[in-house]
Structures are given as structure tokens and as C-alpha cells.
């Protein structure tokens, strides 16, 4: 489980969309890039992936943009990471298959599983909510 910039940006974008679900007009890419400092065309590339995963809808033309297409409570960070980031690497070494090799792999797998478990139990809804709280606090500072 390596967290690439891709995954990070995807998550930020999804949070932004989740927080603005109630708005009538979709959210423009430009707004997201500005607010979160994400390199422009790169985000577009990422949004494309999110779209083919069915998690966001795009609206073309003037006043267009993106809109969340799923319930934030149904989307876990693990799903996001796996959809956008690298799809499982799991240590591609050409070591001989020996007892030692198997043992060691078991440990790596267990470690990977542990981190995946953390991501699996965190939903987009949760972290969007927590972000909203923080935003409110900032407002009063």
C-alpha cells in the first residue's frame, strides 16, 4: 500500500465534492485545483479515473464541472486508493521459493493487510465530516 500523489489528490477532490453535494451547479475543476493546490491537468486525469469508476458525474459545457455520484458513506479510502493508485504490487522479487521466502512474504502480507484494514474502515463521509468541522473552527480564528 503505497500512497501516491494520485491517491492523495483523488481523495482531496472527493472530499471537496462531498462537502458541496447540496449545491445545484456542479463544481468546476478550476475551483478544486485552486483550493487544494493540485496541478491542473493532472487532476483532470485523475477525475477521469473516478468517473469511470462511477463515483463522480461530469457535466460538460459552460457551468459544467463534477458532482459526486455516490453516497459518501459507501466509499472507503481503500476503494479510492485501489482504483486510482497502483493495483497491488506485493513484492515482485525473483528470489527462489524457499521456506524462508514464504515466511517473509507472510509477514509483508500481514503488514499490508493491516494498513489496508485502516483504509477500509474509513469512509469518505467520515473524513469529509471531520474536515467540515475543522473548517468551521478555522473560520472563528
| Interface residues toward DNA, by CB under 7 A | 2, 4-6, 26, 28-30, 39-42, 44-45, 47-48, 51, 58-66, 85-86, 93-94
Q: Are 4 and 80 in contact (CB under 8 A)?
A: no
98 binds, among a second copy, DNA, none (CB under 5 to 8 A by kind): a second copy
**Of the candidates 62, 60, 65, 57, the residue with the CA atom closest to the CA atom of residue 26:** 65
Q: Give helix 77-84 / helix 40-52 axis angle, nearest 10°.
A: 110
CB of 92 to a second copy, least distance (A): 8
* Rounded CA separation 56/51 (Å): 5
CA 27 to chain centroid: 17
112 binds, among DNA, a second copy, none (CB under 5 to 8 A by kind): a second copy
CB of 132 to DNA, least distance (A): 22
| 72-111 footprint of a second copy as x/- string (CB under 8 A) | -----x-----------x-xxxxxx-xxxxxxx--xx-xx
Amino acid at each position: 500500500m503505497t500512497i501516491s500523489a494520485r491517491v492523495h489528490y483523488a481523495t482531496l477532490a472527493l472530499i471537496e465534492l462531498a462537502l458541496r453535494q447540496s449545491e445545484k451547479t456542479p463544481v468546476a475543476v478550476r475551483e478544486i485545483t485552486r483550493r487544494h493546490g493540485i496541478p491542473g491537468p493532472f487532476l483532470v486525469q485523475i477525475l477521469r479515473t473516478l468517473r469511470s469508476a462511477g463515483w463522480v458525474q461530469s457535466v460538460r459545457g459552460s457551468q459544467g464541472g463534477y458532482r459526486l455520484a455516490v453516497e459518501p458513506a459507501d466509499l472507503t479510502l481503500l476503494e479510492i486508493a485501489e482504483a486510482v493508485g497502483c493495483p497491488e504490487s506485493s513484492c515482485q522479487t525473483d528470489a527462489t521459493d524457499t521456506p524462508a521466502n514464504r515466511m517473509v512474504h507472510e509477514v509483508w502480507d500481514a503488514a499490508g493487510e493491516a494498513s489496508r484494514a485502516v483504509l477500509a474502515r474509513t469512509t469518505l463521509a467520515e473524513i469529509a465530516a471531520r474536515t467540515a468541522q475543522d473548517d468551521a473552527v478555522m473560520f472563528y480564528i
